[in-house]
A and B are shown apart, each in its own frame.
Chain A
Amino acid sequence: MIHLGYFSLLFALLASAWAGLGSMLGLVGRTRGLQRSAENAILASSALIMVAMGCLWYAFLTDDFRVNYVANYSSTSQPLGYKIGALWGGQSGSLLLWVAMLGMFSSVMVLQNRKKNRALMPYAVGVCAAVMSFFLILLNLVEGARPFETGPMRPDGAGLNPQLKTFWMMIHPPCLYLGYVAFTIPFAFAIGALATRRTGDIWFRTTRRWTLFAWFFLGLGILLGSYWAYVELGWGGYWAWDPVENASLMPWLVGTAFLHSVMIQEKKGMLKIWNMSLIILTFSLSIFGTFLTRSGIISSVHSFATSDIGPTFFGGLFSMASDTDGMAALRSGSMPDGWEPVLVGAIVLLLAMLASGGAALMSGKNRGPLTVMTVLVFFLSMAFLFGFLPFVVFGALTLLILRLDSLKSEGRLESVLSRESSFLFNNMILVGMAMVVLLLTMFPILSEAATGRKVTMGPGIFNLVNIPWALVLLFLTGVGPLIAWRKATAKNLKRSFIVPTLAGAWMLVLMLAIDFRAYGAALSEGFSRLTRFDVIGVFDQIQIFYPAITFALAAFVCGTVGLEYFRGTRSRMRQYGQSLPAAAGTLLWRNKRRYGGYIVHVGIVLIFIGVAGSSAYKTEQVVTMMPGQVAQIGNYEMRYDGYRLEAVDDHFGSISELTVGHNGSVIGPVEAEQRWHPNLMFPELRQSFLQAKQLQERGSDETHEAVLGLFSLIDRLQQVARREVTVPSTEVGINKSVSPFSPSRMGEDFYVIQAGLDPVSGRANFRIFINPMVNFIWIGGLVFMIGAHICVLPDSRERRRLEAAMNAEDEERAVA
């Protein structure tokens, strides 16, 4: 099976390389046969990747520890679900998953467009094939990234990192990757549109679903990642501006900008250059995100990977080193071990392309495709020399510049108060925020390269720069959908915004009135700082107002959405005499894109509320308790009833049993747990652990004693072996309130971490967080999901528009 997997991957590379080459040759010769062959090669390549993935899964399920990857990320005692999920627990597997998804998507694209979009398809196939080839080169040729590297048979594996062993971590990476990868398809079509000068709205209408799909899964992946961080990392928060988090946020922000600004191109034929740039940037940031996540070039609290693939993405083959320190590798530019096959492959590919280019030159016609191909060949060779990411960015931008003349705007901005402008501002903010995040994320690297001094960036700087603009963005969320096209009149403004503004103002006054003393003090303090030019001091005071402003803006946005929905429903009821539910339902159903979008907006508003509430009003406390004691934390009482010791699956640990009360009434039991995952390579430890596990399975009373024995065995072993022989992990205990009937703790979490427990006496430390409103984030996430689903449901009107656009284009070409 290992060999089958190995060779499948190799042939997948050959097939995808042919797909790239064949589609270009097919373009030059205008031969449908070659194009078809290239498309079939994409299908073949994806099938082969699937086979390879199946083989790797087989190795995981059969505990084949000859395979290094399996030995590193699985163990005999790993539960079945995690053996399956371990496939993306490390670098090679993640890359394999990436390319498998790309294969899947490209295949779907090929099958959907067998008869459609014939002008764009060869380019789209070529781009997809190039991206696939890049990842397959990594998987086949780069040491450490190859999934089927083998070593001696080992009795057991190291096991997946315990912190990855949660349900959320099993679905979070695939979700994120679905997002990253799916942006390839709109990007490929954009490149095709640029190359063929078919820069009308076909390319983005064709890929609208793909874009939404990618954007949806990226957003969902980010949310799942935050949820994982919240329940698993045990620090009471969900977002830390960690490089890996930032890596996923940046393409999502730019993708969001793209989704909005294509609407302007659709309606007005404006912002064409901007849209092209946005999709190029989104795809580049997706690649960059993958690179940042998988390379460990910037230290991150949860970079579980460090590796040798970084420079290939970023700095090119010639600086690729088997050094784990990416920076050192980037600077030293040393020749890596095992680079020769890559170089040879690159040269062969290059020669093949030059030859095909020459052949095309001989034939002497079709100058257009020829230019494009020369450019492609040039940049593909650049890719091998300087790395994939610069290749993507500069290649695509060069093409964009070459095509500026066919991207002329059909309209112009007439007023600052118009829908076009509000979309433009929303775009500026989204892209600006993404760039700020990029700059701040890269700052440690830039600083070290420039001054040689190492720095870390705290979350404070990110918050300082991003929050004010995020609030403006929230405001525009309300403005954008209602303001008139072209130029808003006083009448339009009055009609659309009086009610929402009143709602927002009322909320602001209410919020300020609740604690007017504190706000007054903050205001005067802020002014006194302002006179001293203490900008940070001023912002410290402004921060106090953030929750109130957020809630007010939330009321404003919900007001606009509610008003719009109410008006639409009312007019349907009048016009067609429908009942209220029927009118509301048909309104939504007939305008899926529009109302689905509004629902997404409401989801985002809820997320804003959750973030504002939970970061402003959070409390934290550490208590040390003996079993039977009661502690008071804010409005909560927590009784420590007792604890039990367990040995299950691949870990043993202590679980504390707690009863939580709120204002004197019991709200439920909570269990917090600490786990130790023993290193089963120690025979002694292995035996004792399995024994304890057996006792547990039989339900024997001796389990407690056996686990106590494990604890002392570990102490002893650590002294002898002079290293830690277990890996800890924490399971937090959470009492959630998602019921609307308990207004005093609406959306609030009582969150307990067991931060140490003496297994003999039961004396324990608990770290407790009270996180108000945090559940609004997850509820907002659900609303976002529902809204996005409504947006992608089939819509006959959309289909007709696409067909009309295609027909119009064909006629235009026929006339010309």
Chain B
Amino acid sequence: MNIKFLLIGAGFIASMGLLIAVGISQSGDMHYYVSVGEFLDGQRDNPDLRVNGKVAQGTIQRLQEGQEVRFMMTDGDRELAVHYEGVVPDTFVDRADVVVQGSLDSASGVFEAHELFAKCPSKYEAADGEEGAYGTNDGYGDPQAGAAAPASPDVETAGLSN
């Protein structure tokens, strides 16, 4: 009787293993991805690839009521211009970790993405942390001053703008 149970167990494990192997190798649902630098260095001509990077701060342009976006993707070193048509998730914000799938348009040098996945910035809290609310070095204000002393009067001028 034990032989029977062993056989059933073995068959069960084998079927799961087989399904996993088939799933990973054939289903096309496992995707390799590369970083922006790796893409620019060796994979420029790949017709369909996933590229991972962060949204460069302040580069998001939302067009057509949010149906289309253009932004710069960075790995901290190199940058890649990306264009995507479609609805983006709420997690798609400055410095969000994104994966885009598509190919490079050789004429314009823009990455045309047909898929876009975004994850929250790894440190949401950094919004007022070391990098400061006012951006890094744009001369708009000093993050430390802004954080320590509320409402410095010289920038607090504009009311409603229309």
Residues of A within 8 A of B (CB): 68, 71-73, 90, 152-158, 161-163, 233-235, 296, 299-304, 306, 324, 412-416, 421, 424-425, 428-429, 432, 436, 439-440, 443, 453-461, 464-465, 468-469, 535-536, 539, 622, 624, 679, 681-684, 686-688, 691-692, 705-706, 708-709, 712-713, 716, 718, 720-724, 727-730, 753, 755-758, 763-765, 767
Contact = CB atoms under 8 A, between A and B. Distances in A.
A713 B67 contact: no
Given A234-B90, A624-B67, A679 B127 contact: yes
Nearest to B160: A709
Contact of A439 (B4, B9, B20, B30): B20
Contact of A721 (B19, B62, B117, B140): B140
B32 A756 contact: no
Contacts of A454: 32-34, 52
Contacts of A72: 124-125, 128-129
Interface stretch (B39-47, B105-113, B145-153): B145-153
B57 A722 contact: yes
A153 B20 CA distance: 53
A709 B161 contact: yes
Contacts of B5: 413, 416, 421, 424
Nearest to B66: A756
B65 A756 contact: yes
Contacts of B155: 683-684
B39 to A, nearest CB: 12
A456 B99 contact: yes
Band of interface residues on B: 35 or more
Contacts of A708: 162
Contact of A233 (B58, B89, B117): B89
A723 B159 contact: no
A414 B1 CA distance: 7
Interface in B81-95: 87, 89-91, 93-94
B158 A684 contact: yes
A35 B24 CA distance: 53
Given A71-B125, A425-B8, 10 more contacts: A155-B149, A304-B124, A306-B122, A436-B20, A455-B31, A456-B99, A457-B30, A535-B22, A723-B57, A756-B64
Most buried by A among B52, B158, B161: B161
Nearest to B57: A723
B161 A416 contact: no
Given A152-B147, A306-B123, A455-B31, A763 B65 contact: yes
Nearest to B131: A723
B31 A301 contact: no
A239 to B, nearest CB: 15
A681 B156 contact: no
Contacts of B97: 299
A454 B35 CA distance: 9
Q: Which 4 A-B pairs have the closest CB atoms?
A: A756-B66, A681-B133, A756-B65, A155-B150
B161 A716 contact: yes
A468 B26 contact: no
Given A152-B147, A691-B160, A300 B24 contact: no
A488 to B, nearest CB: 14
A728 B146 CA distance: 23
Given A458-B30, A709-B162, A720-B140, A432 B13 contact: yes
Contacts of B57: 722-724
B28 to A, nearest CB: 8
A72 B128 CA distance: 8
B26 to A, nearest CB: 4
A683 B140 CA distance: 12
B129 to A, nearest CB: 8
Contacts of A157: 128
B52 to A, nearest CB: 7
A460 B93 contact: no
Interface in B114-135: 117, 119-120, 122-125, 127-129, 133-135
A542 to B, nearest CB: 12
A154 B162 contact: no
A217 B26 CA distance: 37
A427 to B, nearest CB: 11
A465 B23 contact: yes
B90 A233 contact: yes
Given A459-B29, A624-B67, A721-B135, A681 B128 contact: yes
A536 B156 contact: no
B67 A755 contact: yes
B93 A455 contact: no
Contacts of A468: 19
Nearest to A302: B120
11 contacts: A71-B125, A73-B125, A158-B125, A432-B12, A679-B133, A684-B155, A721-B135, A724-B94, A753-B87, A755-B65, A765-B65
Given A158-B125, A306-B123, A460-B23, A691 B159 contact: yes
B93 A728 contact: yes
Most buried by A among B24, B94, B123, B149: B24
A302 B117 CA distance: 11
A436 B162 CA distance: 58
Contacts of A413: 1-2, 5
A306 B125 CA distance: 11
Given A155-B150, A536-B27, A705-B162, A464 B1 contact: no
Nearest to A425: B8
Contacts of A730: 90
A233 B118 CA distance: 12
Given A429-B12, A464-B27, A687-B159, A455 B128 contact: no
Most buried by A among B5, B66, B151: B66
Nearest to A720: B140
Contact of A304 (B9, B29, B120, B133): B120
A706 B159 CA distance: 10
Contact of B50 (A302, A456, A684, A756): A456
A727 B125 CA distance: 12
Nearest to A685: B158
A158 B124 contact: yes
Contacts of A687: 156, 158-159
A453 B2 CA distance: 43
A684 B16 contact: no
Nearest to B5: A413
A638 B60 CA distance: 31
Nearest to B91: A301
B19 A235 contact: no
A278 B86 CA distance: 46
A164 to B, nearest CB: 10
A729 B146 CA distance: 26
Nearest to A536: B26
B138 interface: yes
Contacts of B117: 301, 456
Contacts of B28: 460
Contacts of A539: 22
Contacts of A443: 24, 30
A722 B141 CA distance: 12
A424 B9 CA distance: 10
Nearest to A756: B66
Contact of A723 (B50, B58, B64): B58
Given A720-B140, A722-B135, A155 B19 contact: no
B8 A416 contact: yes
B123 A324 contact: yes
A166 B66 CA distance: 23
B60 to A, nearest CB: 6
A413 B5 CA distance: 9
A428 B9 contact: yes
Contacts of A683: 150-152, 155-156
A335 to B, nearest CB: 22
A706 B50 contact: no
B87 A765 contact: yes
Nearest to A757: B65
A756 B23 contact: no
A186 B78 CA distance: 52
